[in-house]
Amino acid sequence: MRRILTWLAAAVMVVAANVVAAPSASAATYTPPAARQRVDLNSGWRFNKGDVAGAEATAFNDSAWQQLSVPHTWNAADGADGGNNYYRGVGWYRRHYTVPASFAGKMLFLQFAGANQVADVWVNGTYLGKHSGGYSRFRFGATSAFKVGQDNVIAVKVNNANNADIAPLSADYSFDGGIYRNVSLQVVDPLAVRMLDSAGPGVYLRQRSVTAASATVDVTTKLFNNNTSSRSVVVRTVITDAAGNIVADQSLPARTVGANAGVDVVQTVTITNPHRWDGLADPYLYNANVEIRSSGVVTDVVTEPLGLRTFSVDPNTGFSLNGHPYDLHGVNLHQDRADVGWAVNDAQHTQDFDLIREIGATTIRMAHYQHDQKDYTLADQRGLVVWAEIPLVNDTTNSAAFTANARQQLIELIRQNYNHPSIVFWGIGNEQRVDNTATNTLLDSLAGLVNTEDPDRVSVYASCCVSDTGAVNSHAEASAYNKYFGWYSGSYNDLGGNLDSLHAANPSRRIALSEYGAGASTVQHALNPSPPSPGGQNHPEEYQALLHEASWKQLDARQYIWGTYVWNMFDFASDGRNEGGQPGINDKGLVTRDRVTRKDAFYFYKANWAATPTLYITSRRWASRTTAATELKVYSNAASVTATLNGVSLGSRTSTDHIFKWTGVTLRAGANTVQVTATINGTPVTDTVTWTLS
């Protein structure tokens, strides 16, 4: 058993006896009181690209600045046009905000969901502080800086220039600058759950045991009394099911908390006959509601998701969820898209998850950094198992400052996302390019920090570019490898044998494939293409499909691989690239960067992974042909597919691998109509394309 959370062990703890409750036909319902407020501050900003002296001052004249709303990045265009010359420097944001008189006596915290990568924040010229790290949430206490009932000026200086003290130093994607996630004002009572615990929720749900009969959960509440006098405090935890019925309700005896003092309280609750969070099949969620009460008044309420589940990773049999084998096959995800770069809104996050669910993925690696909270919430709700990681990519700086920043970002990742049941794996790094003492010391420190912060989940490291058996792979509890056979080296048929060698070399090591894939342009096509040059301009869509067909067959046959992750779900900006006819774009996505086009390989995986009826003619975008001889290839989860060409039958085909082929097909001059039909789960399905031979 790993070490218990040191930030709990060091705290003052109160542990109460278990309380057991179960829903019934007449179970009481619960609605959490609205004790705290969130004010959206996304609109009304003015922006200046470039540094400006004195822009933090209240009286500074920003009337000539650009008016905009956040999320915003200044690299939406130049970060994706090639040349590796996008702007990396300072940008300023300013806005006015009148604090309502009703907020008098409340605590005010400015919250930023993400700003890349260094943010300095002022209110009315008062400096609140600096946050270093472009991907995690951060908060600043601003109560004394704001003037209640009056106009206030918020000024934020953001800098995305390279900084040797901050991870990542480099990576194969553009580092968009700006306030690219939501901004809000959090308004709480002086007696509240702690707000400045690395911007975490202040309530942490540790699942001690989960069986069919009962689930036991430790609920740690980190509360703080910001009043100038002591308070008598009661902490109440209410667990509700998806319908709002109370399934556990516990209040601790009142205790006194001193002025300007904090205390951590642990309550142990037990839920009988728990409804488990069970991946795609049943992503069931409870809510854990924690009330802070004083003199009969609820001063604060925090509600966190609770998904009850167990998991394990075995070096021979792979991943299990709730005691049964559960195949983890999925995709890597970047937070980038066409036209907006990193400034992705909630509706766009949801669209991404709709596409990931459509393809039938069971897991997501949220590479290579902490993602927006919306993504983790969607994963909870959709039943997708998550690998979350920090942006320790490629290189490190051998310095105390860099180590401290990497540890800070890992603590923020874990505390801010501790309660998401979808998260199983904490990633401590990706593709370190050297296997030296400094790198291994840092990785060992980060693996130990995962053990300290979260004794129950699994640390993992994604390796590439150094020896597969090197020391960098020895620190995390699980190993993963980025393998691009058939793209950067070798043949795509080499993948399975290489993984077998890794497994044979260390049979006790738990192995995953964290990245594999190939580039593809939706406007470039070839019949049975040879491997293209990864950095070249010719990336036919058909080659990507062939690589994934071969790769998945090898992966699907190897039970010991606990997870597989396609690189990438979507094309994304990497301004240093110039290939595939798309400068500034990494085109390994299964879907284009604008989310408009699902590539052929997308449907190959959908036919293999999803239960929804799939019937798809490949090479459909190769509409203009110059050669009459061709083949017809179809991806489907049907048992049999029938095809016609210009109304003439080509016959039926069966398949054991969801790939149906008709060879020796001859097109006629002019338009050719190809149609395929199948019956899937009792429903007739048809797909049609037109290919024109000139």
Whole-angstrom Cα distance, residue 344 to residue 118? Answer: 19
Tokens (6 digits) for 129:
């502080």
Helices of type H across 97-140: none
User: What would the DSSP string read from start to end of 162-207?
Assistant: --TTSS-S--SS----B--S-EEEEEE-SEEE-S-STT--SEEEEE
| Sole residue written with tokens 């401590």 | 428
Kindly report the backbone phi and psi dihedral angles of residue 200, in degrees, each rounded to the nearest multiple of 5, phi listed first. Answer: -80, 175
Sheet holding 659-666, edge to edge: 615-617, 629-636, 659-666
N- to C-terminal Cα distance for the chain? 69
Q: Exactly one of 304, 431, 549, 579 is catalytic; name it.
A: 431
Is the backbone of residue 133 left (phi > 0), alpha (psi -120 to 50) or beta? left
In order of 490, 648, 664, 672, 692, the CA distances from 669 in angstroms are 39, 16, 16, 8, 7
Check if the beta carbon of residue 645 is closer than 8 Å to that of residue 664.
no
Element (H, E) at 500: helix 495-505
Q: Give me 182's structure tokens.
A: 């939501």
Say how far apart CA 664 and CA 88 lie, in whole Å: 54
549 is catalytic: no
For residue 331, which phi and psi values (nearest 5 degrees)?
Answer: -140, 160
Angstrom distance (rounded) from CA 341 to CA 71: 10
Q: Which of 163, 156, 158 is nearest to 178 (CA)?
A: 158
Residues annotated catalytic, as ranges: 431
